[in-house]
Structure 1
């Protein structure tokens, strides 16, 4: 059954669903489906993140910006999981510490957008692509219309991905487990997939969910959802976050100060982190409980080229990671790890540094640019060099 939440809480970044009756039917369908993740898996992740909160483990979180339904094919899932495991192994070997590996996978089917509509080069104005759980990336007005039945496809795709992830983990040590995570964004998907277990309510849509920098309003539905479950929860923290507001988030989401319950994912931008992160760290260290601190050096460093293509520079990504680690260590805090958008495919979506008009011979992302394997390895190496 669908557990009740405050119906009056506003939900930011929701699509304009045209058929509300169909949406309600989809919600009922999802509520009747089995949970995608089990409570004992969630508890295992919570225990692993508790070690990261205490400075005894590292965290690698990575995967697609917008996960397509087509990537639920087992061979594709195995390549993604092998890539994450390989990067985690480098961290583990370089530090002799356990590494908690979490994919942006099995549910990262929706994206917040800065505008509801986009204007194409030919002048057409279409609803923005919001991820496969909402509409199609094809530039067609009918396919771009939000379709509630895609939420059921999102569930089915996530189930297939999780089945493959579990199969790849058979016979492996516990510390090579890969957990599934996505942004807790679409309320008609997330609310029906809450369940009640021995530890209370939990989200059965993912082991770990995060609230975005655009949806962390204190009176909003996303924060209310996160408060209602005992999964480990992340919150993206951008340069507009006031220190007092971040402390309040910690108090709301982790009132009992349980290590591993709360992760702050810092996404300031390389040119702003030295200004905005220090007062936030000072306030949280003094007034809030334990936090897992991750660096997301991707989202604050997205730029557009002269031709309008989104990209990210490895030089600014490394610069933000460097500042993140330096600022935390200066305060006796633990820089626990990285949150990266990456792919095992040899894409050319990110470039080394600003310079002449870059070439993008293999640009596949439907939304934001991702690191290819060689680039992801460089970021891992840069993080290790800071230790």
Structure 2
């Protein structure tokens, strides 16, 4: 790679100036007028409230057997402080607005589902630093800021295909994530317990405290990027590739320091890092929705960004009713089942003012279906002038079950869907705005293939997920290099070597 110190320094400045700006707990947003976004007509006329979703049909919701117990849990959450703040949400919205105009790339990653008994600082740190590694590689590949969003601090609930799980002659409610019930197959564990929401809140608060400390306390200092490598990733081809890449960036830092750039400033030492989760358990989301004192707008303060899943995005359903009234950036997952007309109606509902950065379309189809269906969806959005960010979720549409009973995803299929996503956007002249991955910084064996060489026979070695299989750290980094290569080719830049 002919990666000269001067050229890499220019890229590093771009990386630092936008992707590594200090995070403050309260920050106003004016550059793109995001804070001035008007509320939707229906919300302004008083038809929307944090509770108005109750008038709609709510899919994938647990049934609680004690209404008084549910009310008590919701009231306890209402008295809790916000997990995130309106100023932080507006900061994310501002960055997403730039990505909507082709001036940024959204990286979303994290656990399929968080678990109470898996919580520890090391797990949060390892996932955080893999995302930092990926962001650095993607910044070099795209030559644009990378927006880092973790599926963390709230990703506890999961939709289920069946309401009940049957084992032999015993039928119990399906496990829906720790925020609702427990995985153990007993009647007591599978009872939908509303007080799990309170425990989820407190664990989320701890996770956010850790993330804020890592993002602003020196861990994310770009001069430490050699220390970001995970031990098990270090032994892989991609780990070695990252190490060489990091050495080049180190050279750039020394060059910048030599010409008078202060590389010890907050610009290089801190990073913006945001959180997101699926907006699924509406009593929890409602309880943490607050009115911002500076703008008068409602924000769901459980996360910076919320998305609505493929199974809950009904136009007349409770989840779209709830999300249409909050000021957070939103996402919606779509499969090949989504028609162009339906997508346009979703855009009108979730982003009635067509505000840039407000709505992200998360595409999960599988490679073949994506090539067939995505062009028509993009064409409809372009024709109607809708402002959206298109990002790929290449893992969800590629899940299968092995003969020995493990749910897994094949790296080759994930790569094929990513390739199809970029091919279609190249054909349509649209911006491939990001990627959404179920991943972890741990050395798990849950997805087959990639440089880590996980096979069906080795899945049982470290299959630790409570829900769906995740990419491990080396597989996630390999994905980042693949995307970076594709984006450099798209821009006419030389490949990474």
Common fold by TM > 0.5: yes
- The answer as to whether partners of 1:46 and 1:232 remain within 8 angstroms in 2 is yes
* In 1, Cα distance between equivalents of 2:59 and 2:334: 16
Per the TM alignment, residue 201 of structure 1 is displaced from its structure 2 partner at its CA by 0.7
Q: Give 1:367's match in structure 2, choosing from 446, 462, 467.
A: 467
* In 2, Cα distance between equivalents of 1:315 and 1:123: 39
Per the TM alignment, residue 102 of structure 1 is displaced from its structure 2 partner at its CA by 0.3
Residue equivalent to 2:448: 351
Residue equivalent to 1:85: 132
Report the TM-score when normalising by structure 1: 0.95
Per the TM alignment, residue 323 of structure 1 is displaced from its structure 2 partner at its CA by 0.6
Q: Give 1:164's match in structure 2, choosing from 210, 216, 240.
A: 210
* In 2, Cα distance between equivalents of 1:269 and 1:123: 36
| Map 1:120-269 → 2, pairs under 5 A | 120=167, 123-170=169-216, 173=266, 176-197=271-292, 198-199=294-295, 200-269=297-366
* In 2, Cα distance between equivalents of 1:89 and 1:305: 35
Per the TM alignment, residue 356 of structure 1 is displaced from its structure 2 partner at its CA by 8.3
Q: Does 2:476 match 1:376? A: yes
Question: SS of the residue aligned with 1:210?
Answer: strand
Question: SS of the residue aligned with 2:437?
Answer: strand
Residue equivalent to 2:424: 327
* In 1, Cα distance between equivalents of 2:92 and 2:165: 39
The CA RMSD measured in Å over matched residues stands at 1.8
* In 2, Cα distance between equivalents of 1:180 and 1:157: 14
* In 2, Cα distance between equivalents of 1:286 and 1:365: 42
- The answer as to whether partners of 2:332 and 2:362 remain within 8 angstroms in 1 is yes
Report the TM-score when normalising by structure 2: 0.75
Question: SS of the residue aligned with 1:294?
Answer: strand
Per the TM alignment, residue 322 of structure 1 is displaced from its structure 2 partner at its CA by 0.6
* In 1, Cα distance between equivalents of 2:335 and 2:277: 18
Question: SS of the residue aligned with 1:141?
Answer: coil
Q: How many aligned residue pairs are there?
A: 385
Per the TM alignment, residue 126 of structure 1 is displaced from its structure 2 partner at its CA by 2.5
Structure 2: segments with no counterpart, 5+ residues: 1-48, 222-265, 488-497
Per the TM alignment, residue 383 of structure 1 is displaced from its structure 2 partner at its CA by 1.4
* In 2, Cα distance between equivalents of 1:169 and 1:265: 26
1:61-92 deviations in whole A, cap 9, x for unaligned?
00000111234433322222122111111111
Question: SS of the residue aligned with 1:21?
Answer: helix
- The answer as to whether partners of 2:130 and 2:477 remain within 8 angstroms in 1 is no
Question: SS of the residue aligned with 2:366?
Answer: coil
Q: Tell which structure's C-alpha radius of gyration is larger.
A: 2
Residues 23 and 375 of structure 1: is their aligned pair in 2 closer, same or farther, counting only changes over 3 Å?
Answer: same
* In 2, Cα distance between equivalents of 1:246 and 1:313: 29
Per the TM alignment, residue 191 of structure 1 is displaced from its structure 2 partner at its CA by 0.8
Per the TM alignment, residue 6 of structure 1 is displaced from its structure 2 partner at its CA by 4.2
Question: SS of the residue aligned with 2:91?
Answer: helix
Residues 365 and 341 of structure 1: is their aligned pair in 2 closer, same or farther, counting only changes over 3 Å?
Answer: same
Question: SS of the residue aligned with 2:311?
Answer: coil
- The answer as to whether partners of 1:91 and 1:99 remain within 8 angstroms in 2 is yes
Question: SS of the residue aligned with 2:106?
Answer: strand
* In 1, Cα distance between equivalents of 2:215 and 2:456: 43
Per the TM alignment, residue 357 of structure 1 is displaced from its structure 2 partner at its CA by 4.9
Residue equivalent to 1:19: 66
Residue equivalent to 2:28: none
Per the TM alignment, residue 287 of structure 1 is displaced from its structure 2 partner at its CA by 1.2
Q: Does 2:199 match 1:104? A: no
* In 1, Cα distance between equivalents of 2:116 and 2:278: 16
Residue equivalent to 1:59: 106
Q: Does 2:413 match 1:313? A: no
- The answer as to whether partners of 1:85 and 1:176 remain within 8 angstroms in 2 is no
Report which stretch shifted further, 342-351 or 373-382. Answer: 373-382
* In 1, Cα distance between equivalents of 2:103 and 2:118: 34
Residue equivalent to 2:16: none
Structure 1: segments with no counterpart, 5+ residues: none
Per the TM alignment, residue 337 of structure 1 is displaced from its structure 2 partner at its CA by 1.2
Per the TM alignment, residue 19 of structure 1 is displaced from its structure 2 partner at its CA by 1.5
Residue equivalent to 2:377: 280
Question: SS of the residue aligned with 2:54?
Answer: coil
